[in-house]
Chain A
Amino acid sequence: MSDAVFTVAFYVFSAVTVLAALGVVLKKNLVHSALLLILAFVGVAGIYVLLQADFIAAVQILVYAGAVAILVAFGVMLTKRGDIRESNLANRQKWPALFVVAGVFAVIYALLGQTNWGPLAAAGPEDSVGILATLMLTDFVVPFETAAILLTVAMLGAIVIAKEVKNSK
């Protein structure tokens, strides 16, 4: 891939991500926000592809654009009462929030921009999935197992909190 195509693709994906993310916050209809959220996830996945992180990009689309977005849509469907067109309202702190966010962004941008990140690593491996799989069960076995337990706890917790309170007894 030539550098020019690469650069154009980067700016396209970045623009899609940022604009979609802005839409998530600014749209008044929660369903529109949820759909734009999917678009933002896809934009991020595109950037991962440009970074040659193919596995992460696939996971990003499967888990975030797929599962999480459907979860959000279900959440909207099951909890919404009243008019859907007015379901994602902003409070009165819009302008102070913009001010704070712009300040934080300026500080982070300035500090990260001045940093010399050092030489980039050589091109990524051909078979990233295979290497990741080996690493997860060797070097990263403790965090891998911890993550498994974490998921069990999350599922248990979701059942405990969400299941309706019985009035019997």
Chain B
Amino acid sequence: MNIDYSLLTIEMLTAGLALGLLVLSLVVPGDQRKGFGYLTAAGLAIIFAISFAFNGVNKEIIGGMYLIDDFGNFFKQLALVAGVLVALASIPYVEKLESYRGEYYSLLVFATLGMVVMVGAGDLISLYLGLELMTITFFVLTAFKRGDSKSAEAGIKYVLLGAMSSAILLYGLSMLYGVAKTTVISELVSTIQAGQISPALILGLMFLVGGFGFKISAVPFHMWSPDVYEGAPTPVTSYLAVGSKAAAFAAFVRIFMGGMPQIQEIWIALFAGLSALSMIIGNLIAIPQTNIKRMLAFSGVAQAGYILTGMVAGTNAGIKGLAFYLMIYVFATIGAFTVAIGFSNATGSDEIKDMAGLSQRNPLMAAVMLVCLLSMAGIPPLAGFAGKLFLFSAIVAQGKLWLALVGLIMSMVSVYYYLSVAKSMYMGEAADPSPIEIPGSLKLVLIVSMVVTIFLGIYPAPLTGLAEAAASVFALK
């Protein structure tokens, strides 16, 4: 059997980078390990640039076991660009670590590799292994603040709940295999017939939705996220928030839109319920939060609800909205978390009330936080508005006006708690008015996030084109 290994360039380069960093961290003496963060970011940026050579390449390897297509490539680019930003944002945090600096970046790249494999997987086994590679790496990264009890608690919680969700997911996958007698996703289309849906398949689908729902932190599988987000090192939190979520959404699209469009009416009902619950509960619980990381965790739950509407639409327009929204969510979320990194690096606090008067202490940080939060709320002309427009118009086109209305109302609710942070930053009186200095790598991440969020709001066409190409892989309405 001949396999065209050049199609796996991205995967192999990412694995090579991770292993190279691991070896390098063993070879280089401890006191000289300064440039690892920049090296990681540069490496991932080069792979990101190479990935554009795969735009428009639509091939499958080994009879559909692994897919190189525009959809997978879109999400690989998402994982890589998020990896670059997180690597840069990690630099001040890693400098404070006593040991394992090189290992931290190596694990970060391994997590990226897990996402890359997951979004390219064409069969259930590759998909599950990619998922586990990503998740197990995140277990380690979550507990990376050694000697910190909150980080350890977050790590343990994430391991236990993550293992349980994996078990449920695997049980669901085994039922799917039992019914369909194949693990290749593209073959599910012919082996699962719309007319004869067995009870085991329904149970399997529910378990699948539960297992992946845990990763995207949709209600009612969200209870882990606030504690883990709060306890984990903040750069890891930001990667967990965007990367893990995006990869799990990609898996949803692959399995449900790619493998089971013929039984749409069953899973659309499930997703509609999850979506509405996530939007309502996520936004309402975000209101009383006082810690910025917990607030962003609950806002992330609500964002998962908005993005799920793309699944509810069940059309190519829905996938396009979902892909577009996830990409801009990367920049908005990493921007907001990077402000939190810079702030806690300088002051040691994650509390929203301590951010009072931030606009005088560091105008750039306050401006980025404002832009990112308003983008998440969906205020024009920022990118989040375009994203919500695509998502909600896709479900309205399918006659699900009620869900779009829930989304609109809850977006208005979200403006309240996003703006209360802004009010604190701009109107509040700082207890300690001394200016906050942030390192250059953080400044770079902040400026990139802000510029992209504003630019894609005003002129979304470049990203729309990519998202449309990604969605066109699926032959839906």
A residues neighboring B (CB under 8 Å): 107-108, 110-112, 114-118, 138-143, 146-147, 149-150, 152-154, 156-157, 160-161, 165-166, 169
B residues neighboring A (CB under 8 Å): 1, 3, 8, 11, 15, 18-19, 22, 61-63, 65-66, 98-100, 103, 106-107, 110, 113, 117, 121, 123, 125-126, 129-130, 132-133, 136-137, 139-140, 143-144, 146-147, 155, 175, 178-179, 181, 198-203
Task: Contacts A153-B110, A160-B107, A160-B144 known; list 12 others, CB within 8 Å.
Answer: A107-B203, A112-B175, A115-B198, A139-B65, A142-B121, A143-B129, A146-B126, A150-B133, A156-B107, A157-B137, A165-B98, A166-B99
With A156-B107, A166-B98 known as contacts, the answer to whether A149 contacts B15 (CB < 8 A) is yes
For A169, the chain B residues whose CB sits under 8 A away are 98
B200 engages A111 (CB within 8 Å) = yes
Nearest CB on B from A121, distance (A): 8
Neighbour of B146 across the interface among A108, A152, A165, CB < 8 A: A165
In the bound complex, CA of A112 to CA of B204 (Å): 10
Interface of A is mostly: helix
Nearest CB on A from B14, distance (A): 10
In the bound complex, CA of A111 to CA of B99 (Å): 52
A156 engages B106 (CB within 8 Å) = yes
For B155, the chain A residues whose CB sits under 8 A away are 161
With A156-B107, A165-B146 known as contacts, the answer to whether A142 contacts B198 (CB < 8 A) is no
Nearest CB on A from B157, distance (A): 14
A114 engages B100 (CB within 8 Å) = no
B110 engages A149 (CB within 8 Å) = yes
In the bound complex, CA of A70 to CA of B212 (Å): 32
For B146, the chain A residues whose CB sits under 8 A away are 161, 165
Neighbour of B107 across the interface among A111, A118, A157, CB < 8 A: A157
For B99, the chain A residues whose CB sits under 8 A away are 166
Return the chain A residue nearest B111 by Cβ. Answer: A153
For A139, the chain B residues whose CB sits under 8 A away are 1, 62-63, 65
Neighbour of B147 across the interface among A107, A116, A140, A165, CB < 8 A: A165
In the bound complex, CA of A78 to CA of B338 (Å): 40
B98 engages A160 (CB within 8 Å) = no
| Most B-side CB within 10 Å, residue of A110, A140, A143 | A143
Neighbour of A138 across the interface among B15, B62, B110, B144, CB < 8 A: B62
With A114-B199, A115-B200 known as contacts, the answer to whether A157 contacts B140 (CB < 8 A) is yes
B1 engages A154 (CB within 8 Å) = no
B139 engages A157 (CB within 8 Å) = yes
For B62, the chain A residues whose CB sits under 8 A away are 138-139, 141-142
For A157, the chain B residues whose CB sits under 8 A away are 107, 136-137, 139-140
B133 engages A149 (CB within 8 Å) = yes
A115 engages B133 (CB within 8 Å) = no
Nearest CB on B from A169, distance (A): 6
For A140, the chain B residues whose CB sits under 8 A away are 65, 125
In the A-B complex, the 10 residue pairs with the smallest Cβ-Cβ separation, listed nearest first, are A157-B140, A115-B200, A111-B199, A146-B129, A115-B198, A143-B126, A111-B203, A114-B199, A143-B129, A150-B133
**What are 30 A-B contacts defined by CB distance under 8 Å?**
A108-B203, A111-B200, A112-B200, A115-B179, A115-B198, A115-B200, A115-B201, A140-B125, A142-B8, A142-B11, A142-B61, A142-B65, A142-B66, A142-B117, A146-B130, A147-B129, A149-B15, A149-B110, A152-B19, A156-B103, A156-B106, A156-B107, A157-B107, A157-B136, A157-B140, A160-B100, A161-B140, A161-B155, A165-B147, A166-B98
For A146, the chain B residues whose CB sits under 8 A away are 117, 126, 129-130, 133
Return the chain B residue nearest A147 by Cβ. Answer: B129
B140 engages A156 (CB within 8 Å) = yes
In the bound complex, CA of A31 to CA of B107 (Å): 35
Return the chain A residue nearest B178 by Cβ. Answer: A117
For B200, the chain A residues whose CB sits under 8 A away are 111-112, 115, 117
Return the chain A residue nearest B132 by Cβ. Answer: A150
For A152, the chain B residues whose CB sits under 8 A away are 19
For B147, the chain A residues whose CB sits under 8 A away are 165
In the bound complex, CA of A160 to CA of B99 (Å): 9
Neighbour of A154 across the interface among B18, B22, B136, CB < 8 A: B136
In the bound complex, CA of A127 to CA of B139 (Å): 38
A138 engages B1 (CB within 8 Å) = yes
In the bound complex, CA of A166 to CA of B100 (Å): 12
Return the chain B residue nearest A137 by Cβ. Answer: B1
In the bound complex, CA of A114 to CA of B196 (Å): 13
In the bound complex, CA of A64 to CA of B63 (Å): 33
Nearest CB on B from A91, distance (A): 15
Nearest CB on A from B20, distance (A): 13
For B19, the chain A residues whose CB sits under 8 A away are 152
B202 engages A143 (CB within 8 Å) = no
A161 engages B136 (CB within 8 Å) = no
Return the chain B residue nearest A156 by Cβ. Answer: B103
Neighbour of B181 across the interface among A108, A118, A138, A165, CB < 8 A: A118
With A111-B203, A141-B62 known as contacts, the answer to whether A116 contacts B129 (CB < 8 A) is no
